[in-house]
Structure 1
């Protein structure tokens, strides 16, 4: 559609999009620039778009006030493991619901989708009791297992099922003629074609795990085992007040992996959303 627009219309369109982007970009810009400002300038009104007195001392304090590097690694590897685990579980479950016919299939899938309607606050107490009996409190296992087999995996399964339903059945018929079994057909034919859906699931899952807050404060108590959302709340002064410049510096560092993941998988993310719901 944009190729049919005149240069003047394109310029007007880009101008409108630029204006609409300001409310979304400005908070991030304010966070990054305020992280290098003195505390007295952070809440100045009107807010300054450019810092006049740049200082990176707050970034140094982020790593000296608590084990932020270890906490950063904790969030990174947990998010990576959860993403890979969710991709494995949701792709297999989504393919099964889309291609394998069995009695009660639709009812079972509806029962799985009901998991999206249960708030995490409802299940947090029984989950704590279960992991406590298993001796896994103050470990990272609850932060890995709960997302892989919880609501994020349910949403991922729905996305993968919808994508596999949209794939032509002739591809699998040709694979069976060539002698491929069910799993080989999934691994060699269906899964490589599902890259857009996998990209969308990867972004959703990574963001959910990276931003997880309730579960860490329930299951973790050792600072060296904290994840970043929990660690951000620990930057306080001697009176319990927030250290704004240090918190903003830590938040700026926290946003970097999210931007990297989205830039890498943005095309697959958009294509995955476009394919979801084509057939069902």
Structure 2
């Protein structure tokens, strides 16, 4: 019993560096600007006020921007799942000439920083008339580095599947597409869950591409919108920014807490065989 108490005590202490910044963000959004950086910081404001939360929607079309981030992240997640599952299965289970060499070429996409490709991407999307639209924010992640990482995770998972499953399926008359949809995909739920979470979070937090491709305020995504809460002298309105940041971060934290077991299980399975 004493050992368990000590263990829980140590865990609580270790949680402080991770929990306190989020707590400070939320409680500071309820304070006036003058009290936000007071030292020592107050764990709870003396006179909490929700006025800054209302200002978020008065200063910008924040509800529309919230919707922009939500639907873009959802579309990117579904598109990445489709592309990575198909590509990962092909690299893991289908034998063709130059398979390993092609996979290494695909993996090099992880080594190229997004800053290097942003100018040619902008010129390409500008020639297609897609600047100041959400199409670049959807297409670049689905066919870019996030999808490469997702393909790697899916490949590592599909490699671990016993070959006897496919042999039994062929004896039952199933072709390659049916084996993929009816056997491989259902078994890959842990890996798909892991890919879903990190893809959604990556799209939700995307910053560079929105500021390059999107100029209209009503088309902003949340990371881009958070930088716009300033006063007439372009100084940051800290309580308003923290209110918007709290509304941005809390749903993501809730999703991760709910799905963290699936995420950890998926990553664990992908490392069984390489």
Q: Same fold (TM over 0.5)?
A: yes
Q: Which runs of 5+ in 2 are unaligned?
A: none
Alignment partner of 1:51 is 2:45: yes
Cα RMSD (Å): 0.8
- SS where residue 233 of structure 1 aligns? helix
Match of 1:112 among 83, 106, 110: 106
Match of 2:82 among 63, 78, 88: 88
How big is the shift at 1:264?
3.3
Q: Spell out the pairing of 1:96-245 with structure 2 (5 A cutoff).
A: 96-245=90-239
How big is the shift at 1:141?
0.1
How big is the shift at 1:267?
1.6
- SS where residue 77 of structure 1 aligns? helix
- SS where residue 49 of structure 2 aligns? coil
- SS where residue 258 of structure 1 aligns? helix
Assess if the C-alpha contact under 8 Å between 1:37 and 1:53 holds in 2: yes
CA separation in 1, counterparts of 2:270 and 2:3? 32
Q: Which runs of 5+ in 1 are unaligned?
A: 1-6
CA separation in 2, counterparts of 1:130 and 1:14? 55
Q: 2:19 maps to which residue?
A: 25
TM-score (norm 1): 0.96
- SS where residue 192 of structure 2 aligns? helix
Q: 2:36 maps to which residue?
A: 42
How big is the shift at 1:39?
1.1
CA separation in 2, counterparts of 1:209 and 1:113? 20
CA separation in 2, counterparts of 1:23 and 1:264? 21
String of CA shifts for 1:10-34, please: whole Å, max 9, x gaps. 2211211111111011100000000
* Number of residue pairs aligned between Structure 1 and Structure 2: 274
Assess if the C-alpha contact under 8 Å between 1:198 and 1:268 holds in 2: no
Q: 1:253 maps to which residue?
A: 247
Q: 2:258 maps to which residue?
A: 264
CA separation in 1, counterparts of 2:12 and 2:82? 39
